[in-house]
Structure 1
Amino acid sequence: MTRKIFFYKYHGTGNDFILIDNRDFSFHIENNELIKHLCHRRFGIGADGLILLENTNKADFKMQYFNSDGNLSSMCGNGGRCIVAFAKYLGIIDNTTQFLAPDGMHSAELTPSGVALQMKDVSQIEQVGQDFYLDTGSPHYVKLIDSHENFDTVSEGQKIRYNNRFNKVGTNVNFVSVENNKIILSTYERGVEDETYSCGTGTVATAIVLGLLNGKEEQELHTKGGILKVSYTKKGEAFKNIILEGPVEQVFQGEILIKNRSKQL
């Protein structure tokens, strides 16, 4: 027995996702093995995660996000920006929207440079030695380093992600350096368990940490996949009106034939 799944492939600064129009709820979210298979870069389509667009009576649409390991996950900033562009492509929205995401309601706007997404407010920032830990829709550990030259993001990220504190639930790990007046950012993502070309919630977390240190309310960060901009307003100890902005691209669309070789698929 076989079946076809129609999908779209998007990326936001190299952070790539499979997007599926699931307004008819025909894609079953409990099929973790299928999601893992689709995200596999050798045996499937290949992506950092899979996103379902679904109907809701609370907003224009609902976002369901899964990591490439097949598990339902927390908020994804770049994924949020991609699904906004997807909703525009499907004719669900015009140039502005409100949608329901894993961490609650978000507003967003299509701009000449891509998509600008409003993120949740952040007020709790924990300092861990010289490092920082905060939640921007997903948990992030931010570490300042001297340089990214010859720096191994994967091995250094694993040391933190799998330490005694984070081993069970995991955390994303961001490394940031300032080189030639540019803010350079790399990210090790839980659920992907590898370095990704970009991470939206991680870019926001890093920009907030830098804002604590340099007082700036707007940061431009260079990831492996491109440039993301973050702006916010600091009110007391809280960061509000946080906007993540950057390019989004539909890479391709197609059908994948799923062969039920096992009960999992």
Structure 2
Amino acid sequence: MTPIPFFKMSGSGNDFILIDNRTSVVPEARLEELVVGVCRRKMSVGADGMILVEPSENVDFKWRFFNSDGSLPDMCGNGARCAARFAFLNGIAGRKMAFETLAGVIEAEVGDAGVRIRMTDPKDFRLAQRLELDGRSVAASSVNTGVPHAVVMVDDIEAVDVASDGRAIRFHPDFEPDGTNANFVELNPAGEIFIRTYERGVEEETLACGTGNVAAALILAKERGLASPVTLTTRSGGRLTVHFTRRDEGFVDVFLEGDARVIYRGELWEEAWQG
């Protein structure tokens, strides 16, 4: 089959494969095989997810976003910034654009130093839940910022066993049937915020999670009184900034701002996803 052009991009360490699929260059019948195969690290390109940019009748484009396991989450903040810059660089949209996701229409603006996206309004806040994890009681708060997130405050971000505790929270009965993403957040005495995330669908810790950073910022605003904007340092060392406006008991005008780097461009051969 004809090789498929793609970009490899990174949003604060969350990496993605992006394809202009407006002319259906991706074989639909083998789509899941392609996603899972190409996202394999060391065996193929390797990525946390894949983004297909496709035509929309209403806005600049729509996307289909896939986790590396082939699942379809409603939203991805870091992926959305990468999709926006990809669309701008490839002449699909101007610097200001809107595109369709399963979570709703996302507005974006591509700047010289990064991309700013308007998130959908957060919902389903649950504060100070008690979760039993292997005989320990852990305090967690949760919110849906396009996808569900649990947020756990910790004293030492480096001491967290993200793989074990993150997996336990991700599959915890309180979040059934769909599960949740799990974020661990340290707010140190100097006011610096550090975050680590176990991502549903990737099923391991990732170097950054945009919707998780938004969830953490809003939980901190609710529980610790933090004002907009809130900047968090991700596992990659990259910094993401969350802007928001309080309204009654919730938040509106929620924006996520950060980098969206082009790593390289290339072509996918069929053997890239073969077993």
Whole-Å Cα distance in 2 between the matches of residues 92 and 5 of structure 1? Answer: 18
Aligned to 1:20: 19
- Residue 217 of structure 1: CA displacement? 2.3
What residue number does 1:33 align with?
A: 33
Counterpart of 1:153 (choices 134, 142, 162) is: 162
Root-mean-square deviation over aligned CA pairs: 1.7
Report if aligned partners of 2:123, 2:144 keep a CA contact under 8 Å in 1. no
Distance 2:176 2:47 in 1: 24
What is the percentage of aligned positions where both structures have the same residue?
A: 40
Deviation at 1:101, TM superposition (A): 1.3
Per-residue CA deviation, residues 127-174 of structure 1 (Å, 9 max, x unaligned), is 213311111001101111111123221111011112223364221000
Q: Is the 8 A contact 2:33 2:273 kept in 1?
A: no
- Once the two structures are TM-superposed, the CA of residue 104 in structure 1 deviates from its matched residue by 0.8
Q: In the alignment, which residue of structure 2 is the partner of 1:220?
A: 231
Deviation per CA, 1:94-132: give whole Å up to 9, x if none. 211111112111111112330000001124301213311
Q: Which amino acid aligns with 2:179?
A: G
- The reply to whether residue 8 of structure 1 matches residue 46 of structure 2 is no
Which residue, out of 175, 187, 205, partners 1:178?
Answer: 187
Taking a change above 3 Å as real, the CA distance of residues 197 and 260 of structure 1, as seen in their structure-2 partners, is: closer
Alpha carbons of structure 1 residues 72 and 114: separation in structure 2 relative to 1, 3 Å: same
CA displacement at 1:6 relative to structure 2: 1.5
Q: Which of 240, 245, 269 in structure 2 is aligned with 1:257?
A: 269
SS across alignment from 1:7: strand
What amino acid is aligned across from residue 187 of structure 1 in structure 2?
A: T
* Alignment partner, residue 152 of structure 2: 143
Question: Unaligned stretches of 5+ in structure 2?
Answer: 131-138
Q: Does 1:114 align with 2:114?
A: yes
Q: Measured at CA, do residues 260 and 39 of structure 1 come closer, stay the same or move farther in structure 2, by a change above 3 Å?
A: closer
CA distance in 2 between counterparts of 1:102 and 1:207 reads 23
CA contact (8 A) 2:34 2:273 kept: no
SS at match of 1:59: coil
State TM-score, norm by structure 1: 0.94
Q: Deviation at 1:261?
A: 9.2
Are residues 63 and 167 of structure 1, via their aligned partners in 2, closer, same or farther at CA, if it must alter by over 3 Å? Answer: same
Moved more, 242-251 or 20-29: 20-29
Query: How big is the shift at 1:26?
Result: 2.7
Name the CA distance, whole Å, in 2 between partners of 1:261 and 1:236.
49
Say if 1:95 and 1:109, in contact at 8 Å, map to a contact too: yes
Q: Which residue does 2:204 correspond to in 1?
A: 194
Counterpart in the other structure of 1:79: 79
Counterpart of 1:218 in structure 2: which amino acid?
Answer: P
Q: Structure 1 counterpart of 2:49, which letter?
A: G
- Aligned positions of 1:26-105 closer than 5 A: 26-29=25-28, 31-105=31-105
Letter in 1 for 2:235: K
Q: Secondary structure at the match of 2:74?
A: coil
Match of 2:124 in 1: 124
Paired residue type of 2:25: S
Distance 2:260 2:242 in 1: 15
Structure 1 residue 256 displacement after superposition: 2.0
- Structure 1's 70 and 183: CA in aligned 2 closer, same or farther, altered over 3 A? same
Given that 1:147 and 1:178 are in contact with CA atoms closer than 8 Å, whether structure 2 keeps it comes out as: no
Corresponding residue pairs, total: 262
Matched, 1:232 2:244: yes
Q: Equivalent residue for 2:143?
A: 134
- Where 2:233 maps in the other structure, the secondary structure is strand
Q: Is the 8 A contact 2:45 2:272 kept in 1?
A: no
TM-score by length of 2: 0.90
Q: Which runs of 5+ in 1 are unaligned?
A: none
CA contact (8 A) 1:78 1:200 kept: yes
